Structure 1
Amino acid sequence: MKVLAAMSGGVDSAVAAARAVDAGHDVVGVHLALSRMPGTLRTGSRGCCTIEDSNDAWRACDKLGIPFYVWDFSERFKEDVVDDFVAEYAAGRTPNPCMRCNERIKFAALLEKALALGFDAVCTGHYAKVLEDEDGNRELHRAADWAKDQSYVLGVLTHEQLKHSLFPLADTPSKAQVRAEAAARGFTVANKPDSHDICFIPDGDTRGWLQERIEMDEGEILDHEGNPLGTHEGANAFTVGQRKGLKIGRPAPDGRPRFVLEIRPKENKVVVGPQELLEVDRLCGIKISWAGLPLPEAVTGEAFDCMVQVRAHADPVPARAFTTTDTEEPGSTEELVVDLQGSLRGVAPGQTMVLYQGTRVLGQATINSARSLAWDPRAV
């Protein structure tokens, strides 16, 4: 099989490419240049896609004796990931740029180009597993190492994309084993730290970065009963569940900390309150996609049992879900409704919810609203 290995410059993609070579595939390595002005060096484990990462990817390919290329996807990345990130925050939502990157860059733009060039599959260092059902249809499942499982951020993959996806690290029991294998193979990245945070905000200052790109105006901070508490410098830079940086200046009457409960970008207001009011029991999502063939119930609108996960490393929560049509949204938008058999705390519109049955990823949706167990924001 002719395989295009996406080489980030990290240890996981290097070992994944090596295993693809060992499996007898015809492998070509490619590093994606996602910025026209990449940093020359990483700052510890912050950021990725730097010149250093490109050089590390080249060294791994050279060690494997496979061709290596750098493809400029910076314009597509800016439009589909960075600009989307800014637009979502401007609308008062909290996006997940890693989901958008996997959806629109690594498994859309990259895969499209790979197939056009005659490749059969794209290989990455993600910790996730692709299995086939009895009819040969591909399904996405959690990796063997749940601590490193990345099936959540791959929940946007479609049935067609799964046909051309290769995850050689799927059955690896631990990241330590991957590093040991990298060292044994002589890869210089064996002990390279994992990247974290948002790759295009390597210093981690999301608020400061947004303030340079979104017009911020002073507005009111209200408590959960509608009483004014103070002012903020721009509602768009806040996120639901946030505790730090409120700068209210005086404590709550009970002395407990306050958290952001809601962001109202049109009114430029931020609503805060006690932590227990962050708990929700119903999630409604839009922009639905199914990882593989959808369940029959998802097509007919019948309810089905599942587990729902709203963050990359969060614990899944039991739920019952169904699809419906929201006639109040323009164009009668299809909606995924998830009723939790418990509760989740601090869920923000714009986040992604991924549904599971056992280890299988069913699909995902972008959260459009979350209903509180104890508080109705419409009353404020």
Structure 2
Amino acid sequence: MKICAAMSGGVDSAVAAARAVDAGHDVTGVHLALSRNPKSYRSGARGCCSIEDSNDARRAADVLGIPFYVWDMSEEFADTVVDDFVAEYAAGRTPNPCLRCNEKIKFSAVLDRALALGFDAVATGHYARLATAPDGTVEMHRANDMAKDQSYVLGVLTQEQLARSMFPLSETTKDVIRAEAERRGLQVAQKPDSHDICFISDGDNAGWLTEKLGAKPGQIVDESGQVLREHEGAYAFTIGQRRGLRLGIPADDGKPRFVLDIEPVSGTVTVGPREALDVDHLTCIKALWCGAAPTGPLECTVQLRAHGEEHRAVVTVQGDLVEVTLRDSASGIAPGQACVIYDGTRVIGSATIDKTA
């Protein structure tokens, strides 16, 4: 097959491309330029959108002996990932830009372009497993290495996209990947994994959002409405946050306080005890299904954070809404986060949390 290998400049995507070559495919490496001004995004080994990453990807392609191109996706990335991130925080929600990037860029815009250019599929260095069911449906499952499993951020993929995707690292652990990269002579063998948000160069999310949205003063209050202090912008806070509140006034019981609610219009941030963060029900919107949507109440598990635990749940689809009743309570869940639904190791789909109760 003719394969477009998405090469981020890291060790995972480099080895994924190498394995596609070993499997006998006609492979072309592609690196995504996601910033109109690359210096404005993170630089150094912790990023995935830097000039250094582009150079690392090119060197890896040279070692593998495959053609290499840089695709300018900066406009699409700004419109669908960065602007969405800003808008979600302005509305008091907590988005996941990596999940949105997979949905809108890596497995939509890139796949569309690849297919238009005659490629059969896109290969990436994500840790997830694909399997074909007896009825021909392509199923996505958790990776064998649970410590590296990335099925949560891939839960937005549709059946059509999964059928055109390849995850060559699905059965492998990270230490094996690094050792393999060393044997292949890939300079990225010991390159650190990327962290944080690639388009915030210094990792200061609150400062970056303040630059984009401006100061919007509001108040931090307790559950009774007592004003504890003023703040410069509600987007500097997330549900469940404890550190950095700088309240000064201790709670009556002396226990730590956490962010319970963010009201974006007034800018009011409500804080309270940890137990007030517990939720048992989620109402979700914007569902995306990896195959067919559940037709009745589904006993399953859900994952609510990229590196969070699984919770037993019952999921019911009601028109455009996905109602999730948690059999195991979750804590600190914020609107805007993704609820990814699993049946065992199989990913059923993903929806955006709209309300919690």
Q: TM-score, normalised by structure 1?
A: 0.92
* Residue 245 of structure 1: how far off its partner (Å): 2.0
User: Which digits, 9 at most, give the CA deviation of each residue in 1:204-227, with x for residues without a partner?
Assistant: 100000000113222121111222
- Structure 2's unaligned 5+ residue stretches are none
Does the 8 Å contact 2:43/2:52 carry over to 1?
A: no
Aligned: 1:78 with 2:64: no
Does the 8 Å contact 1:232/1:246 carry over to 2?
A: no
- Structure 1's unaligned 5+ residue stretches are 326-333, 372-380
- Find 2:328's aligned residue among 342, 346, 356: 342
One-letter amino acid matched to 2:128: A
Identity of aligned residues (%): 62
Change (3 A) 1:197 1:61: same
User: Which digits, 9 at most, give the CA deviation of each residue in 1:321-366, with x for residues without a partner?
Assistant: 10114xxxxxxxx110100001111000000010001100000000
One-letter amino acid matched to 1:367: I
2:213 counterpart SS class: coil
Does the 8 Å contact 1:159/1:291 carry over to 2?
A: yes
Does the 8 Å contact 2:4/2:121 carry over to 1?
A: yes
2:309 corresponds in structure 1 to 315
Change (3 A) 1:294 1:40: closer
Distance 2:292 2:60 in 1: 36
One-letter amino acid matched to 1:176: D
Change (3 A) 1:242 1:364: same
1:95 corresponds in structure 2 to 95
Distance 1:134 1:340 in 2: 31
Change (3 A) 1:48 1:347: same
User: Which digits, 9 at most, give the CA deviation of each residue in 1:287-345, with x for residues without a partner?
Assistant: 001012333x2xxxx211010001111111100010114xxxxxxxx110100001111
Cα RMSD after superposing both structures: 1.3
One-letter amino acid matched to 2:109: A
Correspondence 1:224-239 to 2 at 5 A: 224-239=223-238
1:121 corresponds in structure 2 to 121
One-letter amino acid matched to 1:20: A
Does the 8 Å contact 1:243/1:258 carry over to 2?
A: yes
Distance 1:276 1:354 in 2: 24
One-letter amino acid matched to 2:310: P
1:156 counterpart SS class: coil
Q: TM-score, normalised by structure 2?
A: 0.98
* Residue 41 of structure 1: how far off its partner (Å): 9.9
2:180 corresponds in structure 1 to 181
1:39 counterpart SS class: helix
Correspondence 1:231-270 to 2 at 5 A: 231-270=230-269
Distance 2:60 2:40 in 1: 18
Does the 8 Å contact 2:41/2:49 carry over to 1?
A: no
Does the 8 Å contact 2:17/2:27 carry over to 1?
A: yes
1:374 corresponds in structure 2 to none
Higher mean C-alpha deviation, range 103-112 or range 231-240: 231-240
2:26 corresponds in structure 1 to 26
1:281 counterpart SS class: strand
Does the 8 Å contact 1:121/1:164 carry over to 2?
A: yes
Distance 1:281 1:41 in 2: 38
User: Which digits, 9 at most, give the CA deviation of each residue in 1:100-156, with x for residues without a partner?
Assistant: 100000000000000000100000000001111111111111111111000000000
Distance 2:42 2:90 in 1: 28
Correspondence 1:296-375 to 2 at 5 A: 297=295, 302-325=296-319, 334-371=320-357
2:39 counterpart SS class: coil
One-letter amino acid matched to 1:349: P
User: What count of residue pairs does the alignment treat as equivalent?
Assistant: 357
Distance 1:12 1:274 in 2: 41
Higher mean C-alpha deviation, range 277-286 or range 242-251: 242-251
Distance 1:42 1:113 in 2: 26
Change (3 A) 1:136 1:213: same
Distance 1:335 1:29 in 2: 39
Does the 8 Å contact 1:47/1:201 carry over to 2?
A: no
2:38 counterpart SS class: coil
* Over 6 Å off, 4+ runs: none
One-letter amino acid matched to 2:196: D
* Residue 40 of structure 1: how far off its partner (Å): 9.5
Correspondence 1:37-76 to 2 at 5 A: 37-39=37-39, 45-76=45-76
Distance 2:13 2:331 in 1: 34
* Residue 45 of structure 1: how far off its partner (Å): 4.1
Distance 2:78 2:254 in 1: 44
1:281 corresponds in structure 2 to 280
